[in-house]
A = this chain, B = another copy of it.
Amino acid sequence: MSNQVGPTDATRQRILFASLQLFGLKGYQSTSIADILHAADAHSGSLYHFFPTKQDLLLAVLETYRDGIEPMLLAPAWTNVADPIERIFALLASYRRALESTDCTYGCPIGSLALELHEPDPAVRQLLAVNFLGWVRHVRACLDAARDRVPRDVDTELLATFILTTMEGGVMQSRTHRSLHAFDASVAMLRDYFNRLESAARRERP
């Protein structure tokens, strides 16, 4: 008896990871099944066994991102960052590092798929939406943990949505310009907004 991953699960994981990487690098439609088989060093029989259609692969990739938000995205970004508002800016800084380390060719995979797929099947669109909502929920929890530093009449759900907007819009422009400038400009303006929100909250609670 063993809890080790068996060869078939390992093959599934290789196919899934290759798909995740290729959809991120090349996009969904530009990635062929042959590309995935080559990158995963797998046979088409294995692929079709685990993922009967290319869309099944896409759904599994989107589920992987959904399940990875905490362990893969937030936990590394928040190591040694306890302050809830600084956690938001640390999360944004992790996207800046992704841009920087790829000469600004990085794109948020969820955002890219959300715009690449013009008529996604409901199951795909639903999982894209779930990924956005998961991100927003975690950022909102930071804002709620800093509730007394944000004016009372500011809705933290709207503000958290605006922070995802800032990340996605900044990444899109930086990727297009192949320059960090637009991302940095967007985060600088968001920081200025936060500074003003925190000042206003201090005036509310003398």
Chain A contact surface mostly: helix
Give Cα A196–Cα B203 distance, bound, in whole angstroms. Answer: 13
A3 within 8 A of B: no
A161 touches B176 (CB 8 A): no
In chain A, residues 188-205, which have Cβ atoms closer than 8 Å to a Cβ of chain B?
A: 188-190, 192-193, 196-197, 200
Distance in Å from the Cβ of A166 to the closest Cβ of chain B? 6
Q: Contact at A162–B189, with CB atoms within 8 Å? A: yes
**Residues 139-171 of chain A, each 1 if its beta carbon lies under 8 Å from chain B, else 0:** 000000000000000110111011011111110
A176: chain B residues within 8 A (beta carbon): 114, 125, 128-129, 132
- The residues of B that contact A107 with a CB separation of less than 8 Å are 115, 118
User: Which residues of A169-185 are within 8 A (CB) of B?
Assistant: 169-170, 172-173, 175-178, 181-182, 185
